[in-house]
Amino acid sequence: MTANRYPNLRLLDHPLILHKLTIARDARTKSPEFRRLIGEIAGLMAFETFRHLPLEPRRIETPVAVTEGARISQPVTLVPILRAGIGMTEGLLALLPEARVGHLGIYRDEETATPVRYYSKMPVDIADGPVLLVDPMLATGGSACAAAEELRQLGCTNLRMICLVAAPQGVERMLEIHPDIPIHTAALDERLDENNYIVPGLGDAGDRIFGTR
Ligand code: PRP
Ligand code: URA
């Protein structure tokens, strides 16, 4: 695990994850492969990101004997930030089909990079279990902070975030405003450019997932 200077950041830099992330970063990688890779990386990250899920004992009968197993004891909610978070959500649901999905529509204003919220649909009992905020890109941190704020207002206390590429600015902003939210990322990149894109990053994740540019 690569060392990092942020107490809220967990780098999940398994060789399989970095291999796939490198192909995804490549500007020549087209939408169908990019979308598949984003889902696959999310699935690989899930092993560590879901490690904290609470379990309860469950007595079952195998074909051979009665034994004590374990089941996840609380309802888990994935909250993708639209649009790009959808790409990771598919990979996470493949591993945890029981998870509910709350959709949160937020986009960055192209001039100011400030978040604009346009949609929200959450499970009514979202606060009863762990919530995973899902977005491949953490750039200025504006979208993630706005999303975390909304989830807190709904009473969520067990929050964490999963992303693919994080910029130091976004991690620092989350640390300042939401220090108790762990962020799991596949990479901590260098910086933001003058348009607030992550460098080296992977470009506009939503456009690349959905082929809109
Ligand atoms: C991207 C990305 C994040 C946000 C990150 O979404 O998926 O939600 O930008 O930037 P920030 O940390 O500076 O807020 P975008 O605004 O491009 O919306 P889209 O997915 O609908 O294209
Ligand atoms: N959103 C993206 O999709 N990419 C970036 O580099 C920054 C914000």
Domain residue extents for the chain: 2-210
From first to last of its 213 residues, what are the pLDDT tens digits of the chain?
Answer: 556 799 999 999 999 999 999 999 999 999 999 999 999 999 999 999 999 999 999 999 999 999 999 999 999 999 999 999 999 999 999 999 999 999 999 999 989 999 999 999 999 999 999 999 999 999 999 999 999 999 999 999 999 999 999 999 999 999 999 999 999 999 999 999 999 999 999 999 999 999 998
Catalytic residue among 108, 117, 128, 152: 108
Distance 162 CA to ligand 2 centre (A): 15
CATH number for the domain running over 2-210: 3.40.50.2020
The question of whether 112 is a catalytic residue gets the answer yes
The question of whether 108 is a catalytic residue gets the answer yes
Total-model pTM: 0.96
Does any ligand 1 atom lie closer than 6 A to the CB of residue 83? yes
Tokens standing for 44?
């690989």
The question of whether 180 is a catalytic residue gets the answer no
Question: Which helix (DSSP H) or strand (DSSP E) does residue 60 occupy?
Answer: strand 55-61
List the one residue out of 141, 139, 144, 143 whose CA is nearest residue 200.
139
Distance 137 CA to ligand 1 centre (A): 7
| 204 CA closest ligand 1 atom index | 17
Q: For residue 55, how many C-alpha atoms fall within 13 Å in the half-sphere facing its CB?
A: 10
Give the C-alpha separation, 38 to 171, whole Å: 20
Helix axes 142-153, 168-177, angle to 10 degrees: 30
* pLDDT, position 110: 87
CB 208 within 8 A of CB 34: yes
CB 107 within 8 A of CB 65: no
Query: Hey, which of 86, 137, 189 would you mutate to test ligand 2's pocket, going by the most ligand atoms within 8 Å of its Cβ?
Result: 137
Query: Hey, which of 143, 195, 207 would you mutate to test ligand 1's pocket, going by the most ligand atoms within 8 Å of its Cβ?
Result: 143
Ligand 2: residue whose CA is nearest its atom 3: 204
| 84 CA closest ligand 2 atom index | 3
CB 102 within 8 A of CB 50: no
* pLDDT, position 3: 63
Q: What phi and psi values does residue 103 have, to the nearest 5 degrees?
A: -100, 135
